[in-house]
Chain A
Amino acid sequence: MAGLLSRERIIAGSGFNRWLVPPAALAIHLSIGQVYAFSVFKIPLSRAIGITQSTAGDWKFTQLQWIFTLAIVWLGLSAAIAGRWLERAGPRKGGVVAACCWGGGFVISALGVRLHQLWLIYVGYGFIGGWGLGLGYISPVSTLIKWFPDRRGMATGMAIMGFGGGALIAAPLSDALMKHFATATSVGVSETFLTMGIIYFVAMMCGAFGYRLPPTDWKPAGWSPPAQQRVLVTTKHVHVDRAWRTPQFWLIWIVLCMNVSAGIGILEQASPMIQEIFKGAVTASAAAGFVGLLSLFNIGGRIFWASLSDLIRRKPTYFIFFTLGAVLYASIPFAGKIGSVPLFVACCLVILTMYGGGFATIPAYIADIFGTQFVGAIHGRILTAWSAAGVLGPFLVNYIREYQIDHGVPKADAYNLTMYVMVGLLVVGFFANLAIRPVAEEHYMTDAQLATERRLIHEPNAGKT
């Protein structure tokens, strides 16, 4: 089995079509993207004993919230911890471990629901599943960048689009499964978890076994690197253990953190925000539709902006996010003031495309700055910015809103200050992006170091640099 999963076994043979790799990555990302739809289980889980309504002994929302939080925290931590291992072990082994963790996490959680032991769900979905999320998320990044040196942004954008798309599939699927399994004595969550665990395990294993690595220094037919080297696109490589000691690492970390914090602020409060700003004009079901549209634009933005970044390069792409984003955030209070729902919706939708685009473009930005040898591992460490943003964004939105309301500001206007704070975050991101320069020569690996590293991961032609 170990041989079957090794890097050497998945070096692509002659005539392999590189367009077979993105669907393999999508199979994994569409599966782990379920995490964004976890909220559909909250109400049924809060009635696991009472069935029709919560009763004594049933779990509270505050307890259930920790399942999602743990999973997201472990996504970031596991990507940072295991990124380097994955780089050496190869994407297939990483994908298989991710499938076991993600599928296994669901099975353990199913047992937790059946036995009504919340700690089992924390361990299953939150911790073990969280490792599946992190490993699954970064498993295709390095591989796709090596297969698509001519279109790095588009390639990783396709995979990361799947992570957003996973929720679109999981929400209606979970709903249908719970309805199917529900009985007079069960809300159907245990059976749904078990079924989804099996489905995701199979899908992710198919994805993991679909991964192939290109031979060292492979190039697409008819393509050669630009004769004139671009300023912010290196052909050298920085070691993962060295990368985080460079200012570029932390500047990119801030770029991602600020972009995600601002977007998450909108996502988290979208439904109550539109209803409170346009009180009486937007119903609860219309607000749910608005949230659905935000998800679609979040996904669309991942492939659109990441592909565009191949043409206009990464730094200008983030400049657009930070400047256009700031203008749009500042326009939201104006849209509320003049009572224009279409303007408000349009601003939020474009903002969400840039939120998704920020996630999808970052792997290509990392590859441009640090080279491709450790891109997966460095990306894993930079994803801790996501964990930080997951705390910072919602905290700012909720805290400022509460503060405003406590000080007598009407609910409809309570988001205005929040939007200006988001503009501030984007300004910080703008300057961080502005400060990004090529990595100092001393940080790059020498040819001998690169050859040694490639030998360690058993890359063929390791001696040739």
Chain B
Amino acid sequence: MTQTQPTQDEEQPRPGRWGLVAVTWTLVGIPLLWGVYNTLRKALALFE
């Protein structure tokens, strides 16, 4: 009996990896959002 191995392009990420994806995106997202928030605060002067 032969076993069929999934080919490289058929492999799906393990469910746990999505948790890691969320963590890494949060790590880079927080400083970026902080920067956007600071810039928007300063930009409000244009509309005053």
**A interface residues with partner B (beta carbon < 8 Å):** 14-20, 23-24, 26-27, 30, 162, 165, 167-169, 171-172, 210, 215, 218-221, 223, 282-283, 285-290, 292-293, 295-296, 345
* CB <8 Å contact, B42 and A165: no
* CB <8 Å contact, B13 and A288: no
Tell me which residues across on chain B come within 8 A of A289, comparing CB atoms.
Answer: 42-47
* CB <8 Å contact, A19 and B39: no
Q: Offer 7 A-B interface pairs, CB within 8 angstroms, sorted by A.
A: A17-B13, A23-B27, A30-B31, A168-B38, A171-B35, A220-B9, A296-B43
Tell me which residues across on chain A come within 8 A of B21, comparing CB atoms.
Answer: 17, 19-20, 23
Report whether over half of chain B's contact residues are helix, strand or loop; otherwise say mixed: helix
Looking at the complex, which one of A17, A168, A218 makes contact with B8 (CB distance below 8 Å)?
A218
Q: Give Cα A26 to B12, complex, Å.
A: 24
Q: Give Cα A290 to B46, complex, Å.
A: 6
Residue of B whose beta carbon sits closest to that of A23:
B24
Contact (A286, B46) CB under 8 Å given A30-B31, A165-B32, A169-B34: yes
* CB <8 Å contact, A162 and B28: yes
In addition to A20-B21, A287-B46, A292-B43, 5 A-B residue pairs with Cβ atoms within 8 Å of each other are A14-B8, A15-B17, A17-B20, A165-B36, A171-B38
**B interface residues with partner A (beta carbon < 8 Å):** 6, 8-14, 17-18, 20-21, 24-25, 27-28, 31-32, 34-36, 38-40, 42-48
* CB <8 Å contact, A292 and B18: no
* CB <8 Å contact, B28 and A221: no
Tell me which residues across on chain A come within 8 A of B47, comparing CB atoms.
Answer: 289
User: Of residues B24, B36, B44, B47, which shows the largest number of chain A Cβ atoms within 10 Å of its Cβ?
Assistant: B24
CB distance from B37 to the nearest CB of A (A): 9
Tell me which residues across on chain B come within 8 A of A223, comparing CB atoms.
Answer: 9
Tell me which residues across on chain A come within 8 A of B36, comparing CB atoms.
Answer: 165, 168, 296
Contact (A168, B28) CB under 8 Å given A15-B14, A289-B44: no
* CB <8 Å contact, A23 and B25: yes
* CB <8 Å contact, B35 and A27: no
Contact (A14, B11) CB under 8 Å given A26-B28, A290-B43, A293-B43: yes
The 7 closest A-B pairs by CB, nearest first: A168-B35, A289-B46, A17-B13, A289-B45, A23-B24, A219-B9, A17-B17
Tell me which residues across on chain B come within 8 A of A295, comparing CB atoms.
Answer: 39
CB distance from A362 to the nearest CB of B (A): 22
Contact (A172, B20) CB under 8 Å given A23-B25, A290-B43: no
CB distance from B44 to the nearest CB of A (A): 6
Tell me which residues across on chain B come within 8 A of A220, comparing CB atoms.
Answer: 9
CB distance from A151 to the nearest CB of B (A): 16
CB distance from A459 to the nearest CB of B (A): 13
Tell me which residues across on chain A come within 8 A of B35, comparing CB atoms.
Answer: 165, 167-169, 171-172
* CB <8 Å contact, B46 and A15: no
* CB <8 Å contact, A16 and B8: no
Tell me which residues across on chain A come within 8 A of B43, comparing CB atoms.
Answer: 289-290, 292-293, 296
CB distance from B47 to the nearest CB of A (A): 8
Q: Give Cα A188 to B9, complex, Å.
A: 53
Residue of A whose beta carbon sits closest to that of B44:
A289
* CB <8 Å contact, B12 and A15: yes
CB distance from B43 to the nearest CB of A (A): 4
Looking at the complex, which one of B8, B20, B25 makes contact with A215 (CB distance below 8 Å)?
B8
Residue of B whose beta carbon sits closest to that of A207:
B28
Q: Give Cα A26 to B27, complex, Å.
A: 10
Tell me which residues across on chain B come within 8 A of A219, comparing CB atoms.
Answer: 8-9
Looking at the complex, which one of A17, A24, A169, A292 makes contact with B31 (CB distance below 8 Å)?
A169
Looking at the complex, which one of B10, B18, B32 makes contact with A221 (CB distance below 8 Å)?
B10
User: Of residues B13, B25, B35, B47, which shows the largest number of chain A Cβ atoms within 10 Å of its Cβ?
Assistant: B35
Q: Give Cα A282 to B43, complex, Å.
A: 13
* CB <8 Å contact, A221 and B44: no
Looking at the complex, which one of A20, A169, A288, A292 makes contact with B40 (CB distance below 8 Å)?
A292
* CB <8 Å contact, B24 and A20: yes
Q: Give Cα A14 to B6, complex, Å.
A: 10
Q: Give Cα A205 to B13, complex, Å.
A: 24
Q: Give Cα A214 to B35, complex, Å.
A: 32
* CB <8 Å contact, B32 and A16: no
